[in-house]
Amino acid sequence: MRAKNLLVLLVAGIFVFAVSCKKKAEEPAAETGKIKAQMETVEKAESEESEAEEQGEKEEGAEVQEAKVDLSALPEAVLSAFKTAYPDAVIKGASQETEKGVAYYEVESVEGTLLRDLLYAADGKVVEIEESMATTDMPASVQETLAREYPEAKVLKSERLTKGDIVQYEMQLQVGEKTVELTIDPTGKIVEKPGE
């Protein structure tokens, strides 16, 4: 009888352990699913933004040309500068832009859940940095302006844009049926409104 009780306890323990392991295995999958959904939302927003930029450049007659490049085609100075500054980041893609006859190299990367795009000169000097960030991590002045000017808007994408010493916060908003872009400086002043 005692052996039977021990056997029942052993089987019950194995069952509980198996159920626990299954739940633990499902947790990362659920978290991965959330991250994938966030990445898809960001990629969709980036695609829409890219299309809007391309359309705007066509309308303005801008001289910016962009072409995707293989990582091996990046100048060594650019690749070295990126790897030194962001050793834990993974490169998602790269492209070469030519503006007014000058070549620049954009490196799209991800580090954990942080998306970061960097624009480099051929000598490896950083020209511009775009980093994804939660709206709640933006300065209070930026959050206040956003809440005051667009109280009903849903933030689809938010980034910190750094060009030299100038920092601005760019957001892509869903306002009713429209998607609009807004740029605010650290003091809360709107730099670029939709439609400008």
Q: Find the farthest-apart pair of alpha carbons in the chain and give their distance in angstroms, rounded.
A: 89
Please give the radius of gyration of the chain, using alpha carbons only, rounded to the nearest integer: 24
- At 67, the amino acid letter reads A
Q: Is the pTM of this model over 0.75?
A: no
Backbone angle region of 188, left / alpha / beta, with phi > 0 → left and psi within -120 to 50 → alpha: left
% of the chain residues with pLDDT over 70: 64
Beta-bridge partner residues of 167: 162
Predicted pLDDT at 73: 81
CATH topology of domain 64-192: Nuclear Transport Factor 2; Chain: A, (3.10.450)
Cβ neighbours of residue 40 closer than 8 Å, sequence gap 6 or more = none
Considering only residues 98 and 56, tell me which one the structure prediction assigns the higher pLDDT. 98
User: φ and ψ at 20, to 5 degrees?
Assistant: -60, -45
CA angle (151, 143, 179) in 5-degree steps? 50
Does the pLDDT value for residue 163 go beyond 50?
yes
CB 143 within 8 A of CB 149: no
Considering only residues 32 and 188, tell me which one the structure prediction assigns the higher pLDDT. 188
The pLDDT tens digits of the residues spanning 72-113 come to: 788 999 999 999 999 999 999 999 999 999 999 999 999 999
